[in-house]
């Protein structure tokens, strides 16, 4: 069992200085039975997963993620820095925001050659002596990360991608006409699929093999165990919604809910609209001949898409359960930190929108959980904290408890302070007791620095006060920051993912517990700088009275002073919203 001990926070060599008081002390962790061995890290990333999980009071049946949540700290107000795959992943893996990496779309330029030789989280772990491996979708593979998932910088071995992944954009979805199609809705018989499998199944098989190989190696030579950093990226529920057809049976169509705000808000400025071109291009959706850019998706398909999204999520959950059970079986559950995140959210008909590609919270809010062995585990009957991961079969659960979706879920520790995915890098290295990289200084380029902060103080407060949902919130971040680019004021075919050369507007957004405020401003795609004097549109949502963000009041006279105040805070940026005890 790992030890959980107090230690003063030591300031980084350069960058920010941390003020430590008795209330701001943190716990640091050390591995197994001796202080020299470090904890392992299992870094789990899910693609396009909104907080629809049971542990987040969502509709999707996710017993394995719920099991992890019951033994973790769960953050309820966590945000992606840009809701599209490559920009988000480059951001949280480098610990820097999109305006620093200059990655704004999936086919962007490699940050190392375009901007700077920024150190990544896995690279930092590798250089500290960890064995690092990437399985599945961790980086968004392609030129944006050097064509090989940032190898060899970040990984000890060549990243693994499932052989079946190459069929993702092929016509593999059975249609009612007996032919195969390139569809959005794609429940399949696995035996009829290319190579008789699916990417998430093959990726899971691969990481289980790695865990067993490491376990066997350690059994042979336990005196010199090398800690590991294993990053596992699940593809579902990213579209196409291709999953084993039996999962559809868990969600009878009559049981599917409708988005609570499934309507177009007339107060939304046109520049903010996401025309969801990625789903329009699928054969089954294209056949609906929806008008551009607002649609809407026919009501029947509103239910069908949500149904398949939930089914794909439960399929992913089962594969994730296999990974957790494999970690237990290999003997690593007691000395492995587990982080679980999504790269961004996904709009399921809210505001009449689908996919991501916007600054709405439905696109930027993500699930984040951190499991720390012996720390975040619940206290068992013997008074000790202990870990247990076993594969949960959703079909057996539903068979045993037909109304299981209505039953309370053990949600573990909870914290609703404002956190960002860019905080992951400093948090992970902090929890394994490595030096936390300094905060990046404005105007100064360092290879190794971060633009987020370690969440250790929040974790400590939550462990101390498990019944308090908001420990540390008063001294934590004042806001979370997101952004999204557009090519024009009005929606067009490339509005969702404009190439850098076509970006002329950037929507900068900040959210706290009271307001969500956005300014769409002119953007220079050569210098990658915004012009705050060139405001194209504003959005203001008062979350206390309008939590679903349906009524933009930015132009309402009674909110003019509020807009002025928030505009100033937004222009000040993320540095001025950091926890009060951080000195820059």
Which residues, at least 6 apart from 171, have a Cβ–Cβ distance to it below 8 Å? 179, 180, 181, 182, 283
Query: What Rg do the C-alpha atoms of the chain give, in angstroms?
Result: 23
Helix (H) or strand (E) segment spanning residue 124:
helix 121-127
Structural domain containing residue 285: 3-583
pLDDT at residue 407, as a whole number: 72
pLDDT in tens, 222-247: 556 899 999 999 999 999 999 999 99
Tens digits of residue pLDDT in 510-558: 999 999 999 999 999 999 999 999 999 999 999 999 999 999 999 999 9
Residue 225, class by beta-carbon neighbours within 10 Å (0-12 exposed, 13-18 middle, 19+ buried)? middle
CA dist 235 and 238 (Å) reads 6
Task: Give the residue from 354, 357, 238, 360 showing the smallest Cα distance to 296.
Answer: 354
Active-site hit among 28, 30, 34, 140: 140
Burial class, 108, CB count within 10 angstroms (exposed 0-12 / middle 13-18 / buried 19+): buried
- Using the 8-state DSSP alphabet, how is residue 440 labeled? P
Q: Is 273 exposed, middle or buried (0-12, 13-18, 19+ CB in 10 A)?
A: buried
User: Is residue 406 helix, strand or coil?
Assistant: helix
Asked if 85 is an active-site residue, the reply is yes
Q: Residue 125 CB: number of other CB atoms within 10 A?
A: 26
Domain count, the chain: 1
* pLDDT confidence of residue 223: 55
pLDDT at 380: 64
Structure tokens at 324: 């957790």
The list of the chain residues with pLDDT below 50 reads 1-36
* Partners of 450 in beta bridges: 439
Where does residue 224 rank: exposed (0-12), middle (13-18), buried (19+ CB within 10 A)? exposed
CATH of the domain at 285: 3.40.720.10
Compute how many other C-beta atoms are within 10 angstroms of the C-beta atom of residue 398.
Answer: 17
Which distant-in-sequence residues (6+ apart) come within 8 Å of 426 by Cβ?
95, 436, 437, 450, 452, 453, 454
Integer Cα distance of 127 and 156 in angstroms: 10
Catalytic residue, chosen from 30, 77, 85, 351, is 85
Q: What is the pLDDT of residue 468?
A: 56
Whether 288 and 301 have beta carbons less than 8 Å apart is answered as yes
User: How large is the greatest C-alpha to C-alpha distance in the chain, in angstroms?
Assistant: 72
Q: What is the spatial distance between Cα 45 and Cα 235, in angstroms, rounded to a whole number? A: 9
pLDDT score of 163: 98
Q: Does the annotation count 238 as an active-site position?
A: no
What is the rounded (10 degree) CA torsion for 290, 295, 301, 306?
Answer: 140
Q: What is the pLDDT of residue 582?
A: 79
Residues in the chain: 584
pLDDT, residue 210, reads: 97
With contact defined as beta carbons under 8 Å apart, do 436 and 94 qualify?
Answer: no
């Amino acid at each position: 069992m790992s030890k959980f001990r107090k230690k003063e926070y030591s300031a980084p060599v350069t960058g920010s200085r941390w003020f430590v008081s008795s209330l701001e002390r943190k716990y640091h962790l050390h591995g197994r039975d001796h202080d020299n061995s470090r904890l392992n890290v299992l870094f789990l990333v899910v693609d396009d997963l909104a907080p629809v999980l049971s542990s987040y009071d969502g509709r999707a049946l996710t017993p394995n993620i719920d099991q992890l949540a019951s033994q973790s700290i769960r953050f309820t107000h966590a945000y992606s820095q840009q809701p599209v795959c490559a920009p988000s992943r480059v951001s949280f893996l480098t610990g820097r925001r999109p305006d620093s990496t200059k990655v704004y779309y999936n086919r962007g330029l490699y940050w190392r050659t375009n901007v700077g030789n920024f150190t990544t989280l896995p690279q930092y772990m590798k250089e500290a002596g960890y064995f690092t491996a990437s399985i599945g979708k961790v980086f968004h593979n392609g030129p944006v990360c050097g064509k090989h998932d940032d190898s060899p910088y970040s990984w000890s071995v060549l990243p693994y991608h499932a052989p079946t992944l190459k069929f993702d954009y092929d016509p593999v979805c059975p249609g009612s006409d007996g032919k195969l199609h390139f569809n959005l809705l794609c429940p399949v018989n696995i035996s009829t699929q290319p190579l008789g499998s699916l990417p998430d199944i093959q990726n899971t098989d691969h990481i289980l093999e790695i865990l067993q190989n490491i376990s066997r190696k350690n059994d042979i030579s336990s005196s010199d165990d090398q800690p590991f950093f294993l990053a596992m990226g699940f593809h579902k529920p990213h579209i196409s919604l291709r999953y084993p057809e039996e999962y559809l049976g868990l969600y009878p169509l009559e049981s599917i809910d409708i988005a609570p705000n499934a309507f177009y808000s007339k107060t939304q400025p046109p520049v903010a609209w996401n025309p969801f071109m990625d789903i329009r291009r699928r054969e089954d959706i294209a056949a609906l001949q929806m008008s551009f850019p607002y649609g809407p998706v026919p009501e029947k398909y509103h239910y069908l898409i949500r149904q398949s999204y939930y089914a794909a999520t439960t399929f992913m959950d089962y594969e994730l359960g296999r990974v957790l059970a494999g970690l237990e079986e290999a003997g690593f559950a007691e000395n492995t930190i587990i982080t679980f995140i999504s790269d961004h959210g996904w709009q399921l008909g809210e505001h009449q929108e689908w996919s991501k590609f916007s600054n709405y919270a439905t696109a930027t809010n993500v699930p984040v959980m951190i499991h720390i062995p012996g720390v975040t585990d619940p206290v068992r009957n013997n008074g000790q904290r202990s870990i247990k991961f076993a594969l949960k079969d959703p079909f057996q659960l539903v068979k045993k408890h037909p109304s299981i979706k209505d039953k309370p879920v053990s949600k573990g520790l909870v914290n609703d302070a404002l956190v960002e995915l860019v905080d992951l890098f400093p948090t992970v290295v902090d929890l394994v007791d490595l030096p936390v990289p300094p905060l990046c200084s404005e105007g100064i380029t360092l290879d190794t620095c971060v633009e987020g902060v370690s969440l250790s103080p929040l974790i400590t407060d939550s462990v101390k006060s498990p019944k308090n949902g908001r420990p540390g919130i008063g001294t934590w971040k004042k806001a979370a920051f997101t952004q999204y680019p557009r090519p024009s004021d009005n929606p067009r075919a490339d509005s969702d993912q404009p190439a850098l050369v076509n970006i002329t507007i950037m929507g900068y957004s900040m959210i706290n517990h009271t307001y969500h405020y956005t300014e769409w401003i002119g953007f220079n795609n050569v210098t990658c700088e915004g012009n705050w004097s060139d405001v194209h549109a504003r959005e203001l949502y008062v979350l206390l009275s309008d939590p679903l963000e349906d009524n933009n009041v930015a132009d309402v006279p009674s909110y003019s002073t509020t807009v002025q105040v928030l505009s100033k805070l937004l222009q000040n940026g993320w540095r001025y919203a950091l926890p009060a005890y951080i000195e820059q």
